[in-house]
Amino acid sequence: MSVTSVLDVKDLTIHYDNHPAVDNISFDVKQGDCLGIVGPNGAGKTTLFRAILGLQPFSGNIKLFGFEDSKYDSIIPLIGYVPQRVTFEPNFPATVYDVVSMGLISDKRIVQGIKLIQECDCCWNRIYQSIKKKDDKITQALHTVGLESLRNRRIGELSGGELQRVFIAKALVKDPLLLILDEPVASVDVESQTKFYNVIKTINEQNNITVIWSSHDLDAISKYANRVACMNKKLFFHGEKEKFFSDKELLKTYTESSMQMHMHDHNHDVH
Amino acid sequence: MILEALSYGFMQKALIAGIAVALICSFMGTFLVLRRYSLFGDGIAHVAFGGISVGLFLGVFPLWTAFIVSIFGGLGLQKLRQSTKISGDAAVAVVLVSGLAVGVILVSSSGGFSVDLFSFLFGSILLISNEDTMMILGISAGIITTLVILQKQFLHLTFNEEQAKLVGLRTTLLNYAFVVLASITVVTSMRLVGILLISALIVIPNITAMMFGKGFKKTVCISMSISVISVVSGILLSYSLNLAASGTIVIIAVGILVGTLILKSTGILRKVDIKTPSKITHNS
């Protein structure tokens, strides 16, 4: 495997109560890629992400930066993840700053902190520097998503678009090597979507952070991703976006299956 | 009157121990309320009742048996929630009645309720000894230190357990540590307001503090202040009016809650949604 391979998924299968949610898929993601994953609701996109993050049992093989098994767990904190849904108490007493700072905590950083204290002659100065550095990181992450002015606002008082950017800042604050975003602009207004896409473009191109992003928005995928994966439990396509969007048959199949799934959900809701 | 009260040794001990208990209950309570463990205090206090009965039955210092039984009760409660489909409130109910049942059997076997048992049920802050005061201070210092060290981890765990796991936090270990700390907090605090009213000190100052709509640290500070004000004024008022200290403390805490609600309804306090049943689901 190439050293530039960030993610390598091979023969991945996941079952829920004997029904396949992900059926024998294989693909890889290279350093600096912006991979857009498309597929209808229930296609297994979230399940795939959860498997990559070690939250979902699976059969097959997943390697992160070439690592698997026990070393895999130590890589997971280096992934920034923005889930499709984050549920919290409306009165949760946390500010934007508090939530973004949660992204900084990791065992690695705690151990580094302890080492710092033990090795240091002038501990307080070093600890102050460390704290200052963390504060700078949070400020930088908030700047990237354009939320510096809301840093002391309680999260329960934010709009959907603002909350979305808080969770992206939380994922960015740890300086991730890989960013996974699960349908990040669903239920967000058009203006916020444009801001979001620009943030992702900056992160991917200027900071060279690899991005994997699921979406139903084919226009956005065609504009911002460089590679596309199309799945509906099975993987139908994985490759350059130009190839995907030039394949009319594939696009038609995707659109029809997406529409059928939508109609199925709609009928299910009605009944 | 206040100066006269403060000149008594038993009042000094009551106030010192009371302030320590107020601080640990409000700090721990912030996490308990946000994790929807509001009745955890009640559950563990009733398990502690079983532990106290074991101590009185065996002739051992009852607080030690209460600590041991409560910690195991708390761990059992956590295990019940994690490994079965029993919901949180139902799990608390199972643990609560189990502890109470053990207590009732042992109390009836040993000839009925004693003065000692009543002091644990309803609190006896004015009767605590020097040793009790030192023990409460020592344990409280330990709990506050641990909470200060682990506050960021506990806050993340409380906010979203899955997200906490993804930044490398050992969530299972932290959950058990949380339950053990909460159990120790409850048993330590029983001398102040008693088994039957312990939840009040854990829940009321925190739901009041959350109405101020501040961030985590400020909310904890407000909650601690409300708790200390309730305990100090409750103890002094109970001395002046010859009332039960535990009940007076709780009524003052409830009074502050009602006062805050009135301030909010008149718009003096910034309008903040104080609904607790529903959660915000952020569909990104």
CB contact under 8 A, A186 and B283: yes
Per-residue pLDDT at A261: 55
Other beta carbons within 10 angstroms of residue B119's beta carbon come to 18
Average pLDDT of span A32-59: 90
Determine contact, residues A199/A144, Cβ cutoff 8 Å.
Answer: yes
pLDDT surpassing 50 at residue A116? no
d(CA B160, CA B182) in angstroms, rounded, equals: 19
Q: Does A76 touch chain B (CB under 8 A)?
A: yes
List, in sequence order, every residue forming a beta bridge with A28; answer none if it has no partner.
A8
Average pLDDT of span A37-61: 89
Tokens of B194: 């008693």
pLDDT surpassing 60 at residue A233? yes
Q: Does A165 touch chain B (CB under 8 A)?
A: no
CB contact under 8 A, B280 and A85: no
CA distance B172 to chain A (A): 14
Per-residue pLDDT at A256: 63
Which of B273, B281, B284 is facing A184, going by the closest CB pair?
A: B284
Percent of chain B at pLDDT > 70 equals: 92
| Chain B residues in contact with chain A using a Cβ-Cβ cutoff of 8 Å | 30, 34, 152-153, 155-156, 159-160, 162-170, 209-211, 213-216, 218-219, 272-276, 278-284
Per-residue pLDDT at B205: 95
Q: Taking the model in full, what pTM does it have?
A: 0.81
Q: Does A89 touch chain B (CB under 8 A)?
A: yes
Per-residue pLDDT at A106: 56
Q: Which residues of A touch B283 (CB under 8 A)?
A: 84-85, 160, 186-187
What's the mean per-residue pLDDT of chain A? 79
d(CA B173, CA B234) in angstroms, rounded, equals: 37
B57-66 CB contacts, 8 Å cutoff, 24+ apart: B57/B106, B57/B109, B57/B110, B62/B116, B62/B120, B63/B135, B63/B187, B66/B120, B66/B187, B66/B190
Which of A45, A89, A130 is the best substitution to test chain B (most B C-beta atoms within 10 A)?
A89
Q: Which residues of A touch B264 (CB under 8 A)?
A: none
CA distance A100 to chain B (A): 10
Which of B165, B166, B284 is facing A186, going by the closest CB pair?
A: B284
d(CA B42, CA B203) in angstroms, rounded, equals: 11
DSSP A154: B
CB contact under 8 A, B284 and A85: yes
Q: Worst-scoring range by mean pLDDT, A51-55, A212-216, A260-264, B85-89?
A: A260-264
Per-residue pLDDT at B123: 79
Which of A81, A94, A167 is facing B216, going by the closest CB pair?
A: A94
- Three-state DSSP at A26 gives strand
pLDDT surpassing 60 at residue A114? no
Q: Does A186 touch chain B (CB under 8 A)?
A: yes
- Three-state DSSP at A235 gives strand
pLDDT surpassing 80 at residue A115? no
Per-residue pLDDT at B112: 64
d(CA B125, CA B119) in angstroms, rounded, equals: 9
Tokens of A227: 């590679």
CB contact under 8 A, A89 and B276: yes
CB contact under 8 A, A105 and B152: yes
CA distance A162 to chain B (A): 10
pLDDT classification of A269: cutoffs 50, 70, 90: very low
Q: Which residues of B touch A97 (CB under 8 A)?
A: 215
In terms of C-beta density within 10 A (0-12 exposed, 13-18 middle, 19 or more buried), how is residue B182 classed? buried
Per-residue pLDDT at B87: 74
CB contact under 8 A, B159 and A174: no
Tell me which residues of chain B have a pLDDT lower than 50: 272-278, 284
Residue written as tokens 């609190």?
B123
d(CA B67, CA B44) in angstroms, rounded, equals: 10
Tokens of A74: 């130590």
Tokens of A3: 């050293």
CB contact under 8 A, B280 and A82: no
| Closest alpha carbon within chain B to A180 | B166
Per-residue pLDDT at B190: 85
Percent of chain A at pLDDT > 90 equals: 17
Per-residue pLDDT at A248: 78
CB contact under 8 A, A87 and B282: yes
Q: Does A188 touch chain B (CB under 8 A)?
A: yes
CB contact under 8 A, A105 and B275: no
The larger pLDDT score, comparing residue B29 to residue A2, is at B29
Tokens of B160: 């979203």
Per-residue pLDDT at A70: 61
Tokens of B268: 């003096």
Other beta carbons within 10 angstroms of residue B241's beta carbon come to 8
Residue written as tokens 């979305």?
A164
Per-residue pLDDT at B185: 94
Determine contact, residues B197/B123, Cβ cutoff 8 Å.
Answer: yes
Average pLDDT of span A204-227: 87
CB contact under 8 A, A89 and B166: no
| Closest alpha carbon within chain B to A87 | B281
List, in sequence order, every residue forming a beta bridge with A240; answer none if it has no partner.
A227
Per-residue pLDDT at A118: 43
